[in-house]
């Protein structure tokens, strides 16, 4: 199975916070990387953050460093993205995905969760 289910999106004011969750219990294939990507209307999908399973290292795009944090709860089989100090330009549909490489390239995608940040 290759099922990933995102949740936690919503509408917030600039400066606010959200925590996104990705239920990966339905993903039973092997993977070496799991991360978060986003796509705004009319723009290409871009990598946000990733966690590399083998060495537990992380990747963050420059535009989210110091504001976002990726984490996981292996007991719950869930990947998280804590997003703080949100900006209007963070508005996008956020996806979790398996990935490869650094910076990460997405492979198997979830359905996405919408984040809207108002000024």
Q: Does residue 7 sit in helix, strand or coil?
A: strand
pLDDT along the chain (119 residues), means of 10: 94 98 93 96 96 94 96 94 98 96 93 97
pLDDT at 51: 96
Give the count of alpha carbons within 13 A of 27, CB side only: 26
Distance CA 8, CA 114 (A): 8
Tokens representing 93? 């549909």
């Amino acid at each position: 199975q290759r099922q990933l289910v995102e949740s936690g999106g919503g509408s917030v004011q600039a400066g606010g916070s959200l925590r996104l969750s990705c239920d990966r219990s339905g993903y039973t294939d092997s993977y070496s990387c799991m991360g978060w990507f986003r796509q705004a209307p009319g723009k290409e999908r871009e990598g946000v953050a990733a966690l590399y399973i083998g060495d537990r290292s992380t990747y963050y795009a420059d535009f989210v460093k110091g504001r976002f944090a990726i984490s996981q709860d292996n007991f719950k089989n869930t990947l998280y993205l804590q997003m703080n100090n949100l900006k209007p330009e963070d508005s996008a549909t956020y996806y979790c995905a398996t990935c490869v490489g650094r910076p990460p390239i997405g492979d198997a995608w979830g359905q996405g969760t919408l984040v809207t940040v108002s000024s």
